[in-house]
Amino acid sequence: MQRTDGEGLIPVTLLHLLPHPRTVTPDAGGGHLELAPGATIAAGPGTEGVARWLRRELGAATGYAFADAGRGEGQGEGQGEGQGQGSDPERGPGAAAGVQPAAVRLSVDGGLAREAYRLRVAADGVELRGGSAAGVFWGAQTLRQLLGADAYRRAPLPGAVWRLPYGEVADAPRFGWRGLMLDVARHFMPKDGVLRYIDLLAAHKLNVLHLHLTDDQGWRVEIKRYPRLTGVGAWRGRSRWGHRASPLWNETPHGGFYARDDIREIVAYAAERHVRVVPEIDLPGHSQAAIAAYPQLGNTDVVDTAALGVWDDWGINENVLAPTEAVLRFYEGVFEELLELFPAEVSPFVHIGGDECPKAQWKASAVAQERIRELGVDGEDGLQSWFVRHFDRWLAERGRRLIGWDEILEGGLAPGAAVSSWRGYAGGIAAAEAGHDVVMCPEQQVYLDHRQAGGADEPVPIGYVRTLEDVYRFEPVPPKLSERAASHVLGAQANVWTEAMENQSRVDYQVFPRLAAFAEVVWSTLPEPAERDYGDFEARMAEHYRRLDVLGVDYRAPGGPLPWQRRPGVLGRPIEGAPPNV
């Protein structure tokens, strides 16, 4: 957008796009196309959903109706009082009478890859073609960026002139899995916040939302046959304030969960934006919330599970599921309802966690030791593999694919299972070389709960220092992988664990702007990490910060945390002067 309200003209350019497209061809003459109140959208077969989204989003920002060109409705509805400010000569010289309404034409082109698109802006209008509706949608995100930051507003500003630079963009993603893992178990994010994050993912051309729905600190999805999972398991009495080494507590009870129809709404909302939702139900570890709700799930011969509540601390919890047939049947019931809420066509993968399962209770349990003998597995580690392999088969029989953290490799996997490689690259390399698909999410590179700088003002400093530039230089495909193994790297995701993120503002601060760098890494075809032009990325971020401002994202500013973003006195990890394992 360009404004004439005393702030001067804001230039629109093809060079401010993020993530960076494969090919950008500006028009040699430097002209532009102006969108006037009568602009229309012509939706070819298969693009109707994208047209609805574009009409809704651009219509809110511009005040234009963007009528369906195929019905010949002219200006369409809503062009009365308060609409179409651009038609008033006093509100912008570019919107004076005589400007011909432009058409935005959407179509599916079978000659393009599924998520690829071609965008052309010329005097005769906008032509947007995609290999599928998803490709058209990603092109529509580019179109929105080209209109300027104010195209992200929910109501039109006075004096608006909406211009698109002439030129062409040809683009396609590098990876098919471009994701964010959002931990809603440690700190619950209400449904509206999840919908907001889906929009933020889509704006960055990310297409997977991995929802971490259960953990020791909370169970966040309604399961009708087991109502205590949310009636008891969704609530804890207090929360540790900061890292587990902190002496501070927030004594306010915390909790919440998504009702079944909330989940259906989240999945449908994401599907309209071509984002897949991957649900995670953690087992056999990270399960105290479930055990607090149904004590029979725990190792009752060594622990008084009836006395357990939902855990109020962070870290690795000793209370794990008992290795019994009854526990398997219980979780099969959970997954049966989960598969109904997350249909296969939009959520083919189901995440089962599988990580950080302490074995002390199994070592002490006569029931667990008898199970080891019955199954003939290799000790307590074999029991963990038995859990994973059971649900691997169970999900495969129902047309789904299991995915889990890289610990699930221990003990062997069925061919269709996939691995989230979080403990560095090693697990992903081993999985890919063994023929398993891999999502790269190494803690050392893309855990966005980790601190963004080493300064004392960084709020609740956790883990490694990972700056915006560090994330920009992340490479999802390790150089040691063979070509065959590299083909198993589905893509990557950034992970956001929320122990030290008590609300949406804290999540925003940790995620942004680093998610913008991550988005470019997984979408764009970039040089080797050391050769990437970080200066060019920073220059484009200057415009992107304006988009984030309009979207209300409470990001970390380049100069560091603002006063209200700090958390003075709240301990993180590592702690200065403490042993490295604290």
Active site residues: 215, 286, 356
**Neighbouring C-beta atoms of residue 542, cutoff 10 Å:** 10
Distance between CA 329 and CA 394 in Å, rounded? Answer: 11
Which position has the token pair 């993530």? 19
Tokens representing 37 are: 């109140």
Pairing of strands 249-250, 254-255: unpaired
Distance between CA 433 and CA 481 in Å, rounded? Answer: 8
Helix (H, G, I), strand (E, B) or coil at 349: strand
| DSSP symbol at 573 | B
Type of residue found at 292: A
Tokens representing 300 are: 């009752």
Tokens representing 390 are: 């059971």
**Neighbouring C-beta atoms of residue 374, cutoff 10 Å:** 9
Distance between CA 104 and CA 102 in Å, rounded? Answer: 7
**Neighbouring C-beta atoms of residue 544, cutoff 10 Å:** 22
Helix (H, G, I), strand (E, B) or coil at 496: strand
Within 8 A by CB and 6+ apart from 227, the residues are none
Preceding omega of 284 cis (within 30 degrees of 0): yes
Distance between CA 225 and CA 443 in Å, rounded? Answer: 36
Distance between CA 426 and CA 109 in Å, rounded? Answer: 39
Distance between CA 252 and CA 236 in Å, rounded? Answer: 9
